[in-house]
Structure 1
Amino acid sequence: MKRILTGITCLLLVQFVHAQSIYSFQGLGSLNHQGMPNNIGMGEIGIGTPTIWHINTQNPANLIYNTFSTFQLGLEVDRRRFSGDDVSGTDTDGGLRFLGFAFPIMPGKWSSSFGILPYSSVSYNTFSEGTIPDTGETVSQLSNNRGDGGLTNFFWANGFSIKKKLYVGVRANYTFGSIEKTSTISISGEDVPVSNVSYQELESYSDINFLFGLGYRHQLSEDRFLNFGATYSPSSSLNGSSELSLIRLTNTGRRIETVTVGTEDIQFDLPTTFGYGMSYEKLNNYKIGFDIESHGWNSAGSDAQEYNNSVKFALGAEWTPDYDNVNSYWKRAKYSAGFNYHKLPYIVNNQALIDFGINFGASLPVSGFSSLDLAFKWGQLGESTNGLIKETYYKVVIGATINDRWFIKRKYD
């Protein structure tokens, strides 16, 4: 336990993943999948795909399956390539991906979980240049726009069994974090001294929102099951504050003066969301399932920007060749694959953004019921035509799951 607590302390000092994305300048930034490596490996499904070996962060009703005390942690590395009209580049980032703990309070009746997951990330750096109108093209202007930060969910979730096959759950999220956006404008030209000015906006948010879940398990035979799940998150507001500063710079970029223009209270409305999932499972052998999620972004967001309703479809499968084989380690491992299609809420050049991904994963058994969890995703966001930029990315997630029976009083010394 001391080693685990030490590991938690060290990981909390590691920065969350803030992979660079051109499109993270919008809204709250790039929205992160709220699942664990086993979910990522299966195409990011989890609403109707319960498991006793991992924490389900997508549907709190499925926590009822956690009969062990489960601790999960993991890191992610994100590699992106950008391409478009006269634009190309790459970026690599990595950091903490998730941290969670689940345990049964009344085994088979009530299980609880808490942890942290990145909700959104902002990381971009764009340039533009041109001339100022009505100056005879003698005065040029260079703009450098940067953004950094993101929001984090600290969650507490509970799953309950209300009948033998019917489960309900609720997850409370404390969403917090800050987003810093800076625009630096440089003006120069004939008979015009060089002038560098930065406009810096710091947005900070903190508020509570909820996710409700429902699960049902239908037994077809001794070892075959149909699993159903549904989730609902009502619209809620993220309250925060915004501080705008004006910064004068020297030609070399050194600050001369910083003036706080003003501070105001702000509000960002999170959308109403619905999710549905279903899976077919042969116990300790294979499972296949799908998820559908819809997010009502057209009535959410802020007054400064319009959004589309978004939808996500995911399909995935998991396979264990021979769960009971004591002679072959690789036959006891779990292998997974899947894909997902996500129409994002953000609109660029009057076009909706599409994020498509193909996923693979593996859960390698270690001591007892614990495992080393691996997931890989190849994805593509946007396109390289119509004034957009295409992002091709690779994500690698490495996690560890520790399953044990903690908090049980010894009967014998």
Structure 2
Amino acid sequence: MIKRLIVICITIISSSVYGQTGTASPYSFYGIGSLKFKGTVENRSMGGISVYLDSIHINLRNPAAYAGKNLNGLNFDGESRPVKFSIAGTASNSTLKSNSGEAKTNSSTVDYLAMSVPIGKFGFGFGLLPYTSVGYKLDDFNDDDRLLNRYFGEGGINKVFAGFGYQISDKLSIGVDFNYNFGNIQNAAIGVGYTPEGDPVDYQTRELNRSDLSGLNFNFGFAYKTMVSDKLELSATATYSPESKLNSENRRAFSTVTLDGTTFDVTSIRNTIDVDLGALDLETSKLTLPSTLSFGAGLGKPKSWFVGAEYTLQNTSDFSNPIFNNEISAFENASQFAVGGFFIPDYNAFSGYYKRIVYRAGFNFANTGLVIKDESIKEFGISFGLGLPVGNRSLFSNANLGLEFGQRGTTNKNLIQENFVNLNVSLSLNSRWFKQRKYN
């Protein structure tokens, strides 16, 4: 059964790789796209909290988790923590509602590929993940149900990271991530013209904007754990990412295109004229990535249960993107409050597989920081998950399944409300690389 489960997980993640579309959210039209990275599947299954740090799961939101000593009381036969490897994917299904109707969309993506290696009191991690994603097609109709404008876009930002952690004491650890962000975003708009008889004209005009983005940023982490009684353990964490810049190389072009008379999709491109953005001082620009502060705390019984809460504040009011500015949107500071936890019936059960399963749940409320037509775009989510033990029991590898239900946006002022369901799957595999030789 376990081998079949691993095969199923790999199949789902692999299908995400080959069918990856990133997002189908209309809100990816704004800024640099929809935020894709929200933590590991374990984090997301607990409402998005990253407060809990242990020795068998990678925590990609707090680099203090790389630190070498055991953080959850497991001794691994007297050895230090094992090397950790994790890969995850998500399949999403959304229903988009407006005052005039609704539509369904779906997307899939690889969430992350990462490894963490402990070396004494030190530890380091590295990996690759998609950070933001753009993928939308929006139509603007007049009162006569005639298409006036079509907007569509694709792309996003990926992140390569390397991080280090250090265990200052048995209770305190710190860490830092170095992130290199790269990618491109393409946004296009077609204004549809009509003849006096009401038929689309033969040739339409399309505007295409592309930005190639790159830049560095950092993430600092802190973690503290201590027993407050014989059975209860307190956890407290904090992370901070300073404001940083993305270098943007921009291109804008106007093309004459022909459209399908029924679907209004582009059927051919007749000619293209590149705009001299240098004359507009827009050929290169810098985008501001806002600072982010997160802190949380939780209480639990080691290897049995845990409940925690986390608050995140992002200074998105400082975000700017001169090449994609529009008149109907703006940015304010973003925030999120998340609560979640887990329960394990019997961590050390020798019989009864289901007693060793980790049961997770949580919820979160968020202000995304995006304001459209003076409406703040809010988001709510509730999540559930399972951690299924696989492989060698002494290494505590597991497959993680998560299910998220959520809502983003509003139908006020003719905006779009997005109801989504996300299926998250990950493999968290542990291996012994550095095993001490023992002699009788």
TM-score (normalizing by structure 2):
0.85
Taking the aligned partners of 1:13 and 1:337, their CA distance within structure 2 comes to 27
Shift of 1:17: 5.2
Q: Secondary structure at the match of 2:330?
A: coil
Between structures 1 and 2, the one with greater strand share: 1
Could you tell me which of 107, 117, 124 is aligned with 1:93?
A: 107
Aligned position for 1:281: 300
Query: Do the aligned residues in 1 keep the contact of 2:155 with 2:186 (CA within 8 Å)?
Result: yes
Report the CA distance between 1:130 and its aligned residue.
3.9
Structure 2 CA distance for partners of 1:289 and 1:17, relative to 1, 3 Å: farther
Deviations 1:199-226 (A, max 9, x none): 1111111111001011111112344210
- Is the 1:204–1:242 Cα contact (8 Å) retained in structure 2? yes
User: Are the counterparts in 1 of residues 37 and 111 from structure 2 also a CA contact under 8 Å?
Assistant: no
* Cα deviation 1:291-320 (Å, max 9, x = unaligned): 100011112333536310011000001000
CA contact (8 A) 1:238 1:269 kept: yes
| Closer/same/farther in 2, CA of residues 17 and 397 from structure 1, 3 Å limit | farther
Instruction: State the match for 1:399 in structure 2.
Output: 426
Which whole-Å deviations, capped at 9, do the CAs of 1:54-83 have from their partners, x for residues lacking one?
101111112225721000001110000011
Aligned with residue 54 of structure 2, among 30, 40, 51: 51
Shift of 1:346: 0.7
User: Structure 2 matches for 1:68-87, cutoff 5 A?
Assistant: 68-87=82-101
- Is the Cα contact below 8 Å between 1:115 and 1:156 reproduced in 2? yes
Q: Letter of the aligned partner of 2:289 in structure 1?
A: L
1:386 counterpart letter in structure 2:
K
Q: Distance in 1 between matches of 2:128 and 2:431?
A: 21
Aligned match of 2:187 = 181
Structure 1 equivalent of residue 357 of structure 2: 333
Residue 63 of structure 1 is matched in structure 2 by 66
Amino acid at match of 1:40: R
Aligned twin of 1:122: 134
Alpha-carbon distance in structure 1 between the residues aligned to 2:382 and 2:98: 22
Tell whether the 8 Å contact from 1:16 to 1:118 is kept in structure 2 after alignment: no
Give the conservation status (yes or no) of the 8 Å contact 1:16–1:97: no
- Taking only aligned residues, the RMSD between alpha carbons, in angstroms, comes to 2.5
Corresponding position of 1:103: 117
| Of 172, 181, 200, the match for 1:166 | 172
For structure 1, which segment, 214-223 or 357-366, has the greater mean C-alpha deviation from structure 2 after superposition? 214-223
Cα distance change on mapping 1:154 and 1:11 into 2, 3 Å: farther
Distance 1:372 1:163 in 2: 31
Aligned with 1:23 (options 18, 21, 27): 27
The gaps in structure 2 that reach 5 residues or longer are 1-9, 72-80, 261-266, 278-282
State the distance in 1 between where 2:303 and 2:259 align.
65
- Structure 1 CA distance, aligned partners of 2:219 and 2:308? 21
Offset at residue 95 of structure 1 (A): 2.5
In the aligned structure 2, how far is the partner of 1:344 from the partner of 1:73? 26
TM score, norm. by length of structure 1: 0.90
Q: How much identity, in percent, do the aligned residues show?
A: 29
One-letter amino acid of the structure 1 residue matched with residue 422 of structure 2 = K
**Residues of 1 paired with 2:337 and 2:255: CA distance?**
45
> Match for residue 337 of structure 2?
313
CA shift for structure 1 position 189: 1.3
How far apart in 1 are the matches of 2:295 and 2:255?
48
> What is the Cα deviation at residue 262 of structure 1?
3.4
Q: Which residue of 1 aligns with 2:251?
A: 243
Change (3 A) 1:229 1:17: farther
Q: Is the counterpart of residue 389 in structure 1 residue 416 in structure 2?
A: yes
Q: Distance between the aligned counterparts of 1:278 and 1:184, measured in 2?
A: 49
Q: Quick one: distance in 1 between partners of 2:125 and 2:21? A: 22
Letter in 1 for 2:307: I
In structure 2, distance between residues paired with 1:317 and 1:85: 37
- Secondary structure of the structure 2 residue equivalent to 1:250: strand
* Contact 1:186–1:194, Cα closer than 8 Å, also in 2: no
Count the aligned residue pairs.
398
Corresponding residue number in structure 1 for 2:371: 347
Q: Which amino acid aligns with 1:36?
A: T
Whether 2:143 is the aligned partner of 1:148: answer no
What is the distance in 2 between the residues matched to 1:316 and 1:259? Answer: 53
Which ranges in structure 1 are unaligned for 5 or more consecutive residues? 1-6, 132-136
**1:251/1:405 CA distance change after superposition, 3 Å:** closer
Q: What SS does structure 2 have at the residue aligned with 1:27?
A: coil
